[in-house]
A and B are shown apart, each in its own frame.
Chain A
Amino acid sequence: GAGVSQSPSNKVTEKGKDVELRCDPISGHTALYWYRQSLGQGLEFLIYFQGNSAPDKSGLPSDRFSAERTGGSVSTLTIQRTQQEDSAVYLCASRSDSLTDTQYFGPGTRLTVL
């Protein structure tokens, strides 16, 4: 079956502009995660959605970052007034209901803020 997909694969934007990054999880997966991976760094947790529960936003670095998940499926990560330090690869992952299941990662969106 299809894996996790993300779009766009690359995004170049100017400082101050808003960007939207999209994630299509694996069908039927109730959990969805967003991470940020800066050059040479590990994964920084941003936000987590689980079913209809309120999302865990504890990793969002500032109020310029927001995310939503419509209909329990597709998710959009929005970064407002982008800054150069927002440049990174943004990874999305989804997981089934099972706590022992792994996350399945998308290929990521590489964001470059000029």
Chain B
Amino acid sequence: AQSVTQLGSHVSVSEGALVLLRCNYSSSVPPYLFWYVQYPNQGLQLLLKYTTGATLVKGINGFEAEFKKSETSFHLTKPSAHMSDAAEYFCAVSDRSTGNQFYFGTGTSLTVIP
């Protein structure tokens, strides 16, 4: 089975600073890759995904992520943090051959300091 590792369960950044949330996956065959955001008392919302093509993908709210096969990583970044970015972020993967089951990381809670 796939596994997804998110380094850092809690990340704090100052408003306007760079946001970097890390995600690594375990499979030798690159899976489909997703980042979700969860605001308090809400379900998960897709930020961005990588399936094929350009390895740098742009998502909503100014976030982007880069797929690096050699590093089995899909780190999420945003150049300048905003207070509204404070939320829980989840990295997820699904297998390319079946795509049925999604495997989620344990999440990273982002705090933005004014």
Contacts and interface: CB of A to CB of B under 8 A. Distances in A.
Contact of B46 (A56, A102, A108): A102
B77 interface: no
Interface of B: 32, 34, 36, 41-46, 49, 51-52, 90, 94, 96, 98-107
Interface residues of A, number: 22
A33 B102 contact: yes
A45 B101 contact: yes
Given A91-B44, A99-B94, A107-B42, A42 B107 contact: yes
B32 A43 contact: no
A42 B105 contact: yes
Contacts of B90: 42-43
A45 to B, nearest CB: 7
Interface string A85-110: 00000010100000110111111100
Nearest to A35: B104
Nearest to B96: A99
